[in-house]
Structure 1
Amino acid sequence: MSIGNSPEDDRPSTPPSDRLPIGRVLQQARIDAGLTVEEISTSTRVRIPIVHAIEEEDFSRCGGDVYARGHIRTLARAVGLDPAGLVEQYDAEHGGRPSPTAAAPLFEAERIRPERRRPNWTAAMVAAIVAVIGFVGFTMFKGDDSGSPTSHVAEGPAPAQKTTPKPTPPKPADPVPVPSDSAIAAAPKDKVTVRLTATEDKSWISAKASDGKLLFDGLLQKGDAKTFQDDERLDLILGNAGAIELFVNGKKVEEQFDDGQVERLSYTKGDPEVG
């Protein structure tokens, strides 16, 4: 009989044997649906190499856990699966969602901040007293000299002093108006206007006009914003929809999106309405 835990007790837990890998489940569902990798990539906008990598259980090409969850949700919906179970399995196999940062260091930093130096009132009072004594002595000394004879000069009209007009400072130029975020509130009624702001994290976005012209296709870093406008319609794809704050025709879209979720949206003139 051994004392303590055996080496086998320290082995990491493994998923049940009847639980298939995420990539295998997605691949089998795609094959059962009669779809090729190229067709899945076209319908979901997930690039072909990433689809192949996910089906082979390689999530390193997704660009992080947030994008990996988003790709899993998108591919699962495309092949008719419920993404919740697969995302839960991904979290269990990859350490789960990151825990929030503890706030204790912030309070500790406030606690060790050096105190503000107080003014030296004693030195200020001494300086004020010395100044008063000096002023009184100067006044008494000047009063004693007032009895000395002085010469009188006949007074006449004082010569007119020639005054030089002061130059008028140049008038400052009117400031150039700078467009602000409030300008979106005055969006024209005859156009569709969309403003995207990455508030929580970076997000890949794509925007097309009604004639199919690509207006933007790239990454919005956290804090970046883009505004698009068209006469008829704007088509959008949001790669990490949960990180985007969306205004359409001057009104905020209140619909909640998940982190890593890929959304395809279309907007026209009038009130915000998902197309």
Structure 2
Amino acid sequence: MERVDLSLRLLQALAAVAEEGSMTRAARQLNLTQQAVSSQIRQLERVVGTVLVERLSTGIELTAAGQIVLKQGETLLTSAQAMMAEAREVGAERPQPLRIAFKAQSTAHFMPGVEAAIRAQMPDLEVRPLAVHTLPDELDALLEGRADAAFLWLPIGDDPRFTVHPLLAEKRWVALPPGHPLSGRDSLRIDDLADVPVVGPRDGMPAAVVDFWFIDPRPDGSRALFGPQARTPEECLHLVAAGHGCWIAPASTVTYFAHPRLVWLPLVDAEPNELALVWPRHSTHPYLNLLLQETRRATVPCSSEQLG
């Protein structure tokens, strides 16, 4: 058998270059210098014996040989990570904790049941919840290794670093202050909000995410009115109660928060919110699929009866 002198760090460099399309951006992802990444790619090409990347005016692209090395290399990287995770688990004689980022208002109606189902099958597996407030908080927790998986609302932007498993869809509702001209309605349509500012988080959010949550532009082509920003649900509720505008949120939020100075109305013609279970694409935690399996068994959207 031919002796292969192949380092996994060389495959990681190729994967980063393929993902970023740039040596500079790949270097930032790997926390290396551009020269170091270029050197690793040249070293990998010497090991394989052929050219793996092409430098074009539009960026860097993989050759056909590079695509083969990338595909097989990702399998090797995944296997290596799984090997180390399993070895650590066996060595510690306990499963590694399963850390889950979540927003309480989005998961309170199913997450305790999911944890109970996992505990029944794996009594030694510790499930560690990590409460977060915004999409950037959740994605950062995943990328920084503080969470193994996250329950979050779609969309999250075009990000190939994550594996996304849609779970359920919920209708959207609108929070208004009592006495608002629209508060006496039984339901609302998007056109009814033409002159109502919408509060919520925007800074740090991908444009597509902001457009979806604020329904901007509106179906008739008009632009949404942006009210004050808020990071947390509690801040959004306060801004609405203080008369700064409305807040558009999933149905589960309505059931979670009781507020004496708010009126909630269904937004009948808006695209629903979709909740997903997300984890890093190359994650090798051995119990992610168990989490997904039990979550799919437990998750159901909030019903109109629950909302009263």
TM-score interval (norm. to shorter): under 0.3
The structure that has the greater radius of gyration is: 1
Q: Which has the higher helix share?
A: 2
Per the normalisation by structure 1, the TM-score is 0.25
